[in-house]
Amino acid sequence: MRRLGVHTSIAGGLHLSLERARALRCGTMQIFSHNPRGWAVKPLPEAEIIRFKTLRAAVNISPVFIHTSYLINIASADEALRRKSVGMLAAEMDRADQIGAEYVVLHTGSASGDDLRAARNRAVTALNEVADIGMWRAGLLLENTAGKRGDISSSVQELSGIMNGVAGPLIAGICIDTCHAFAAGYDIRDSEGIRSLSEEIQEYAGADRVKLIHLNDSRGDLGSHTDRHEHIGLGKIGSKALRRIVRCRRFRDVPLILETPKKKESDDPANLRKVRMMIMKR
């Protein structure tokens, strides 16, 4: 069965993210493992870890993805920020192993006005530093970005270049976000555009390295470099194109996570319902 889920809140405790995913009939889910807007990371109490693992076994939600803090910027020219980012990423990997999450999803960061090639080299160096810190069961996924000024990984080729520069098993593959790809200039509104993207992935990374698709519509136009997610079918990508992506042969077994807007309680159920129809409809 195709694994479909959403990003669920950990408010009130990590285990409640599982309860929320179960209520939505999700087969997979994505979470933050702590407050993503702060550097402080409190140790996870053993009781909370056990409660999460026990409940997860009962609800059969797999894989579990942790999205890293928004503060991390491993490409930064600010050495203090880069060092903090390396430490935070290692902490995210530790927490993934503690709760048994399979993957950690990372935005590689921004050049912040510096040369893009130099920023990518710093990102590779930082990831190798993380790899030297320890070995984890969880795998790291690098996510494509929308191509706004300073982005260092808005193309598959850029993602692959960073991934291939890191030694050892730290990086398990990539996460493709449909909104980000469209905003970065990939015209995935028709079969030809989807085929072109899938062939680029095959050439530079390998289709088997795609471990997650963030299935989001886009509020911004093609090539707008605007990271603004929209409800499924209500954005500039549209339902027909997203259905083709969901049913693309190369990615038909890749888990899908929705990061669509959550302004009403009915938003997640409505978006999930649309995607379930895409998966089931012949």
Provide the CATH topology of domain 4-280.
Answer: TIM Barrel (3.20.20)
3-state secondary structure of 39: coil
Per-residue model confidence as pLDDT tens for the chain (282 residues): 799 999 999 999 999 999 999 999 999 999 999 999 899 999 999 999 999 999 999 999 999 999 999 999 999 999 999 999 999 999 999 999 999 999 999 999 999 889 999 999 999 999 999 999 999 999 999 999 999 999 999 999 999 999 999 999 999 999 999 999 999 999 999 999 999 999 999 999 999 999 999 999 999 999 999 999 999 999 999 999 999 999 999 999 999 999 999 999 999 999 999 999 999 876
pTM above 0.85, yes or no: yes
Q: Hey, what long-range contacts does 167-170 have (CB within 8 A, 24 or more apart)? A: 167/128, 167/131, 168/131, 168/135, 169/135, 169/139, 170/127, 170/130, 170/131, 170/136, 170/139, 170/140
Contact 88, 71 (CB under 8 A): yes
CA-closest candidate to residue 255, choices 280, 238, 279: 279
**Pairing outcome for strands 210-214 and 171-177:** parallel
What distance in Å separates the CA atoms of residue 174 and residue 3, rounded to the nearest whole number? 17
Q: How many angstroms separate the Cα of 10 from the Cα of each of 68, 153, 222, 242, 268?
A: 14, 28, 33, 28, 16
